[in-house]
């Protein structure tokens, strides 16, 4: 008999999670104004709100926590991290920040001016927020296949080279401070970008003399997909692939809360000394001195270990294949999900799941709320609520996809939890025709409204 797959780790510490009744959850979600961000986490049974900072650290990472050097300047934990960042990314300069959006804030302060254009594959919401906050425009050049959840394409995070070149032709290069390539592409469903595409983007950028930066939150998962799906990379190690990917760009920002395998942290790494010096000024202003940038010494030590662990094939296989296990269960039950499955999350296609709820009534939000009420499972809307209002017209923006993201924390839940999630969704799917009404917004912030928005049920 062929031996089944088993995770390459065993569990050393457990955390209890609370079961609740449907009636309790109904009360809690009303009190939260139907915004899942407002729930108390102890009232959530399985928390799939995000894979960001929610994973389990290894024993070796916890050991680093104990020996963290908390010196203000030049700590050994910083130097350890600096060495690992250089080894893994190949970039010359490095600035720690407290998380991914902080890295964006620092780098974009150095690079973006009002009226600029920043093209890329689908920008993550904080990236877009930081671009628009500076009165610049993010232009999405992702391939069209990404917007059809049923099309099977191995690299749905790819950039459409013609779309990108059109942007380059329409605007002078002084107006395009850089291109941002998000690997994997979270907003397109955790979809990877191929090395071939990265090379093409890089070549085009060089031709038009425009720098290329990565938003590298899930760079290791992207490398796993390259190894599994791209010809010529089957025999390369993840670390070799990662190094090659980064060699095509000028630098990166990263939220280390994902593939850094830590609960908090981020950094900028880049090659251009002038940009590094400019970013250093903003790092000191916004984050802290350049050898800690908002991070504890112990967190920098844990991140140094985490970067090495996340770029190991065995870890990545267990991580990405667990996500696929959930995805396959849902497909077997007929539930419409983004395919192929993303690296960190399964995305429910609310346009196909609950077309009976009008788009103006936030159908993906309605589905996310229902999943919480039925199973105590917290996912997140990636649709009209997240897309926010147009900064000029203030009208709601309707993205092509209305998704509910089920982000799987790293090394945290078992496949029994995946079975429970799939069964909850099957039950909702079986009664989907009864869903008619969605929600109206009663209160919202002027930017990044999804975190604090309040709803009423229609």
Ligand X SMILES: Cc1ncc(COP(=O)(O)O)c(C=O)c1O
Does the footprint of ligand X cover residue 52 (CB under 6 A)?
A: yes
Residue 255 C-beta: closest distance to ligand X, Å: 3
- The footprint of ligand X on residues 161-190 (CB under 6 A) is 182, 186
Q: Specify whether 72 is catalytic.
A: yes
Q: Between 120 and 336, whose beta carbon lies closer to ligand X?
A: 120
Q: Between 189 and 438, whose beta carbon lies closer to ligand X?
A: 189
Count CB-CB contacts under 10 A for residue 12.
Answer: 9
The CA distance from 327 to 147, in Å, is: 18
Using the structure block, give the residue that is written with the tokens 């780790």. Answer: 9
Residue 238 C-beta: closest distance to ligand X, Å: 19
Nearest residue to ligand X, by Cβ distance, number only: 100
Q: One of 216, 246, 450, 455 is an active-site residue; which one?
A: 450
Q: Which helix (H) or strand (E) holds 162?
A: helix 161-170
- Residues 6+ away with beta carbon under 8 Å from 119: 138, 139, 140, 141, 163, 164, 167, 168, 176, 179, 180
Q: Specify whether 217 is catalytic.
A: yes
Using the structure block, give the residue that is written with the tokens 């050049």. Answer: 141
- Residues 6+ away with beta carbon under 8 Å from 50: 380, 407, 409
Residue 218 C-beta: closest distance to ligand X, Å: 7
- The footprint of ligand X on residues 236-275 (CB under 6 A) is 255, 257, 266
Looking at the DSSP bridge assignments, the partners of residue 454 are: 443
Does the footprint of ligand X cover residue 450 (CB under 6 A)?
A: no
**Binder of ligand X out of 82, 101, 130, 417 (CB under 6 A):** 101
Phi, psi values for residue 12, rounded to 5°:
-105, -20
What the block records as the tokens of 263 is 């609960």
Segment near ligand X (CB under 6 A), from 16-24, 95-103, 157-165, 196-204? Answer: 95-103
Q: Between 266 and 340, whose beta carbon lies closer to ligand X?
A: 266
Does the footprint of ligand X cover residue 142 (CB under 6 A)?
A: no
Stretch 202-241: interaction string toward ligand X, x if CB under 6 A? -------------x-x------------------------
The CA distance from 300 to 37, in Å, is: 28
Residue 99 C-beta: closest distance to ligand X, Å: 3
Q: Between 80 and 258, whose beta carbon lies closer to ligand X?
A: 258
Q: One of 140, 215, 259, 388 is an active-site residue; which one?
A: 215
Q: Specify whether 258 is catalytic.
A: yes
Q: Longest C-alpha distance within the chain, in Å?
A: 64
Count CB-CB contacts under 10 A for residue 105.
Answer: 22
Nearest to 258 by CA among 77, 36, 414, 100: 100
Q: Between 52 and 424, whose beta carbon lies closer to ligand X?
A: 52
DSSP per residue over 25-46, as a string? HHHHHHHTTT-GGGS-GGG-SE
Nearest to 16 by CA among 48, 53, 41: 41
- The footprint of ligand X on residues 113-132 (CB under 6 A) is 124, 126-127
Q: Specify whether 124 is catalytic.
A: yes
Segment near ligand X (CB under 6 A), from 36-44, 94-102, 275-283, 411-419? Answer: 94-102
Residues that bind ligand X (CB under 6 A): 52, 99-101, 124, 126-127, 182, 186, 215, 217, 255, 257, 266
The catalytic residue positions are 72, 124-125, 215, 217, 258, 450
């Amino acid at each position: 008999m062929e031996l089944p797959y088993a995770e390459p780790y065993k569990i050393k510490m457990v955390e209890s999670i609370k079961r609740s009744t449907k009636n309790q959850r109904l009360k809690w979600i009303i009190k939260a104004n139907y915004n899942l961000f407002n729930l108390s986490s102890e009232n959530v049974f399985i928390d799939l709100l995000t894979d960001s900072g929610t994973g389990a650290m290894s024993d070796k990472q916890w050991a680093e926590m104990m020996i963290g050097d908390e010196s203000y300047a030049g700590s050994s934990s910083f130097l350890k991290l600096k060495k690992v960042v250089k080894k893994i990314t190949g970039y010359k300069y490095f600035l720690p920040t407290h998380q991914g959006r902080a890295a964006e804030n620092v780098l974009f302060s150095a690079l973006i001016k009002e009226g600029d254009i920043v093209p890329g594959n689908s920008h993550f919401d904080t990236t877009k927020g930081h671009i628009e906050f500076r009165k610049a425009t993010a232009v999405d050049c992702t391939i069209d296949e990404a917007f059809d959840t049923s099309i099977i394409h191995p690299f749905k995070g790819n950039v459409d080279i013609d779309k990108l070149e059109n942007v380059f032709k329409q605007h002078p290069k002084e107006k395009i401070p850089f291109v941002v390539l998000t690997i994997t592409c979270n907003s397109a469903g955790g979809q990877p970008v191929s090395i071939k595409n990265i090379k093409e983007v890089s070549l085009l950028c060089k031709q038009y003399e425009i720098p290329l930066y990565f938003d590298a939150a899930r760079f290791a998962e992207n490398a796993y997909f390259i190894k599994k799906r791209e010809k010529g990379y089957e025999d390369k190690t993840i670390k070799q692939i990662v190094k090659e990917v980064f060699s095509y760009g000028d630098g990166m920002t990263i939220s280390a809360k994902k593939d850094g395998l830590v609960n908090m942290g981020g950094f900028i790494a880049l090659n251009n000394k002038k940009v590094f010096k400019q970013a250093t000024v903003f790092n000191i202003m916004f984050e802290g001195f350049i050898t800690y940038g908002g991070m504890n010494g112990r967190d920098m030590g844990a991140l140094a270990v985490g970067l090495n662990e996340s770029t190991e094939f065995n870890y990545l296989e267990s991580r990405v294949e667990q996500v696929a296990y959930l995805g396959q269960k849902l497909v077997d039950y007929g539930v419409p999900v983004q395919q192929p499955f993303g690296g960190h999350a399964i995305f429910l296609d609310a346009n196909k799941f609950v077309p009976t709820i009008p788009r103006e009534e936030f159908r993906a939000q309605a589905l996310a709320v229902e999943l919480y009420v039925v199973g105590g499972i917290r996912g997140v809307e990636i649709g009209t609520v997240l897309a926010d209002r147009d900064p000029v017209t203030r009208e709601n923006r309707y993205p092509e996809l209305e998704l509910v993201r089920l982000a799987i924390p790293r090394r945290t839940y078992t496949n029994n939890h995946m079975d429970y999630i799939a069964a909850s969704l099957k039950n909702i799917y079986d009664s989907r025709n009864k869903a008619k009404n969605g929600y109206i917004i009663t209160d919202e912030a002027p930017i990044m409204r999804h975190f604090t928005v309040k709803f009423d049920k229609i």
